[in-house]
Chain A
Amino acid sequence: MIKILYFARLRDSLNRGEEQLEYSAAINTGEKLLSALKSRGAPWQDALDKTQLLMSVNQTMASPDASIQDGDEVAFFPPVTGG
Chain B
Amino acid sequence: MISIQQADFDLAAEYQALRADAPSIGAIVTFTGLVRDFNLVESTPENTSVQGLFLEHYPGMTEKSLAAIIETAKTRWSIINTRVVHRIGAMHPGDQIVFVGVNSAHRGDAFAACEFIMDYLKTQAPFWKKELTEEGERWVESRDTDQQAAERWKTD
Which A positions have Cβ atoms within 8 angstroms of B?
Answer: 5, 7-9, 12, 52, 56, 59-61, 75, 77-83
Contact = CB atoms under 8 A, between A and B. Distances in A.
B86 A8 contact: no
Given A80-B122, A81-B141, A83-B118, A59 B61 contact: yes
A23 to B, nearest CB: 21
B96 to A, nearest CB: 12
16 contacts: A7-B58, A8-B128, A52-B142, A60-B61, A60-B68, A61-B65, A61-B124, A77-B58, A80-B125, A80-B128, A81-B128, A82-B86, A82-B126, A82-B127, A83-B86, A83-B97
B86 to A, nearest CB: 6
B33 A83 contact: yes
Given A9-B128, A83-B97, A83-B98, 8 more contacts: A59-B64, A75-B61, A75-B126, A79-B142, A82-B55, A82-B127, A83-B121, A83-B127
Contact of B58 (A5, A79, A81): A5
A7 B60 contact: no
Contacts, number: 76
Nearest to B61: A59
Interface in B77-133: 86, 97-98, 118, 121-130
B129 A81 contact: yes
Name B's interface SS.
mixed
A9 B141 CA distance: 10
A7 B62 CA distance: 13
B71 interface: no
A80 B127 contact: yes
B122 A82 contact: yes
Given A82-B125, A83-B118, A59 B60 contact: yes
Contacts of A81: 122, 127-129, 139-142
Contacts of B68: 60
10 interchain residue pairs of minimum CB distance? A82-B127, A79-B142, A59-B61, A8-B128, A83-B122, A9-B139, A81-B140, A81-B129, A59-B64, A59-B60
